[in-house]
């Protein structure tokens, strides 16, 4: 999956012949899973029509601060457009537009949006050979990079003037690849390996029946997606669940029983940087599993249970440099029980759930958690989507690695 998946891209198009390539660029962004909004300078409309780009991006295209033909039309808010974006790309970036960006000459909507942008900004120069090499142009390149912008270098080839040389805008495929590579290199968990457990475990009574719980696995899967999106390689050890993931950096290891999850966790644990035990593992299992379906004969039926191995505690014992996170689902004395679990299982952080909180618990799209770290610092969060809770957990991990 592309790092651009789900990203909001503000594409600024200035007035050069290379503007015709932006139709392909928009299509590639959309194919990568991005949402695209286009701003054009008035001059760029001589090279490609707003209708083409609007059709491809499935969004209206803006090129002026307001529509002069409609006195009731609201103004096009450049600040709103800029703050909407996760990434801004200016392609082609002509010598004229580059000069305006450098000097803050705010005479069109594109430059106004650029000056308001808080997100990463990429610019792909496009101009003739001598213009590209002119000292004023190279000066503008240097200044824009000093401002924190990233240049997508021009390529060599045939130019509109008939000359051949450097100054040709990078091909759309190369622009997308450049941005993907640059964003990937800056992901905060790039190079980290994270083990995550998810879902329930099923403990067989006979070939038909089992002991299980209501865990859907969604919390663990959301954590896995969030971790992978931040650059981590993820090993997701999951019990039976209908949850799916889309990020190719996630490796699924399916298990059924608590014992299978125990073995899988220890197979991978020594090589990971972080382990997050989000699974709802059975504490007990039938001591004897019937080889045939048990018939309904007696009025009462007793199952003798044996304790399963404590996966999280075993990981705490084996812990070296791993950052170990556990979950606690409590119904009473929540904080006290969670603190005891931190000590007994050698955890760095625990994510506490209470079944007494409305909207939290199994099988729900939301969760309400409290973070407690190994120093017993407590941070209670409001009710959020499980995706938002996953992001909060990953932020804790990012801060941990930033601090060491």
Pick from 109-113, 230-234, 360-364: least confident:
360-364
Q: Are 253 and 236 in contact (CB under 8 A)?
A: yes
For 10-19, 117-126, 239-248, which range has the lowest pLDDT when averaged over its residues?
A: 239-248
Indicate whether 74 pLDDT > 70.
no
Whole-prediction pTM: 0.82
Q: Which residue has the higher pLDDT, 77 or 204?
A: 204
Rounded Cα gap, residues 261 and 164, in angstroms? 62
Instruction: Take residue 229 and report the two structure tokens written for it.
Output: 């999106």
For residue 369, what pLDDT band results from cuts at 50, 70 and 90?
Answer: very high
**Pairing state of beta strands 384-385 and 87-93?**
unpaired
Q: How confident is the model at residue 366 (pLDDT cuts 50, 70, 90)?
A: confident
**Stretch 127-131: mean pLDDT:** 90
Residue found under tokens 């409309």: 45
Cα distances (angstroms) measured from residue 43 to each of 121, 159, 375: 21, 19, 60
If DSSP states are collapsed to H, E and C, what string results for 308-347? CCCHHHHHHHHCCCCEEEEEEEECCCHHHHHHHHHHHHCC
Question: What is the average pLDDT across 310-333?
Answer: 93
Note the pLDDT tens digit of each residue in 11-69. 999 999 999 999 999 999 999 999 999 999 999 999 999 999 999 999 999 988 766 65
CA–CA separation, 13 and 22 (whole Å): 8
Query: pLDDT at position 340, please?
Result: 95
Percent over 90 (pLDDT), the chain: 82
Provide the 3-class DSSP secondary structure of residue 107.
coil
Report the C-alpha dihedral over residues 134, 140, 142, 143, rounded to 10 degrees: 160
Confidence at residue 246, expressed as pLDDT on a 0 to 100 scale: 85
Q: What's 16's DSSP letter?
A: S
Tell me the DSSP string of 25-90.
HHHHHHHTT-EEEEEE-GGGGGTS-HHHHHHHHTS--B-SSS-TT-TTPPP--HHHHHHH-SEEEE
* Structural tokens at position 63: 């090129």
CB atoms within 10 A of CB 334: 19
Looking at the DSSP bridge assignments, the partners of residue 330 are 354
Tell me: pLDDT of 75 over 70: no
pLDDT, tens digit (0-9, with 9 covering 90-100), for 260-292:
999 999 999 999 999 999 999 999 999 999 999
Does position 331 have pLDDT exceeding 80, yes or no?
Answer: no
pLDDT tens for each residue of 140-151: 999 999 999 999
Bridge-based pairing state of the strands 193-198 and 384-385: unpaired
Looking at residue 161, its pLDDT comes to 75
Task: Compute the mean pLDDT over every residue in the chain, rounded to the nearest whole number.
Answer: 92
What the block records as the tokens of 54 is 């609007």
Q: What is the mean pLDDT of residues 151-164?
A: 85
Q: Which secondary-structure segment (H or E) carries 229?
A: helix 218-229
Residues 370-392 have a mean pLDDT of 95
Catalogue all structural domains in the chain, each as residue range(s) with its CATH number: 8-185 (3.40.50.1950), 193-402 (3.40.50.10300)
Q: Is 333 among the catalytic positions? A: no
- Which residues does 82 contact at the CB level (< 8 Å), separation at least 6? 10, 88, 113, 114, 116, 117, 118, 119
pLDDT at 46: 94
Q: Can the peptide bond before residue 92 be classed as cis, meaning omega within 30 degrees of 0?
A: yes
Q: Which of 67, 77, 213, 346 is catalytic?
A: 213
- Per-residue pLDDT, averaged over 251-255, amounts to 97
Instruction: Assign 163 a pLDDT band (cuts: 50, 70, 90).
Output: confident
- What does the pLDDT look like over 333-360, one tens digit per residue? 889 999 999 999 999 999 998 766 676 6
Average pLDDT, integer, range 217-226: 96
């Amino acid at each position: 999956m592309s790092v651009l998946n789900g990203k909001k891209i503000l594409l600024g198009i200035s007035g050069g012949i290379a503007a015709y390539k932006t139709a392909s660029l928009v299509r590639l962004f959309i194919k990568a899973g991005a949402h695209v909004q286009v701003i054009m300078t008035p001059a760029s409309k001589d090279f490609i029509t707003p209708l083409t780009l609007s059709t491809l991006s499935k969004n209206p295209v803006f090129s002026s601060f307001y529509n002069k033909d409609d006195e009731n039309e609201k103004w096009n808010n450049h600040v709103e457009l800029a703050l909407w974006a996760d990434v801004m790309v200016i392609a082609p970036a002509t010598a004229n537009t580059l000069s305006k960006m450098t000097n803050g000459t705010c005479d069109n909507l594109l430059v106004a949006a650029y000056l308001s942008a808080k997100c990463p900004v990429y610019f792909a120069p496009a101009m003739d050979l001598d213009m590209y090499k002119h000292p004023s142009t190279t000066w503008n390149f240097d200044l824009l990079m000093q401002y924190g912008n990233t240049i997508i270098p021009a390529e060599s080839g045939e130019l509109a003037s008939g000359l051949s040389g450097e100054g040709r805008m990078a091909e759309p495929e190369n622009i997308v690849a450049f941005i993907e590579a640059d964003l990937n290199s800056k992901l905060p968990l790039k190079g980290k390996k994270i083990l995550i457990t998810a879902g329930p475990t099923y403990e067989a009574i006979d070939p038909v029946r089992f002991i299980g719980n209501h865990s859907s696995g969604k919390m663990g899967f959301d954590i896995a997606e969030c971790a992978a999106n931040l650059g981590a390689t993820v090993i997701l050890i999951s019990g039976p669940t209908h949850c799916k993931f889309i990020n190719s950096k996630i490796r699924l290891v399916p298990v059924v029983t608590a014992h299978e999850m125990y073995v899988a966790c220890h197979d991978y644990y020594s090589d990971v940087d972080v382990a997050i035990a989000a699974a709802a593992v059975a504490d007990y299992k039938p001591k004897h599993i019937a080889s045939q379906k048990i018939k309904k004969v007696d009025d009462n039926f007793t199952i003798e249970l044996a304790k399963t191995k404590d996966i999280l505690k075993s990981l705490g014992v084996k812990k070296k440099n791993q950052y170990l996170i556990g979950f606690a689902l409590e119904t009473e004395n929540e904080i006290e029980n969670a603190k005891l679990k931190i000590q007994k299982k050698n955890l760095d952080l625990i994510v506490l759930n209470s079944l007494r909180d409305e909207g939290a618990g199994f099988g729900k799209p939301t969760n309400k958690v409290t973070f407690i770290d190994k120093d017993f610092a407590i941070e209670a969060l409001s009710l959020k989507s499980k995706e938002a809770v996953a992001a909060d957990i990953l932020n804790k991990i990012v801060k941990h690695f930033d601090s060491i």
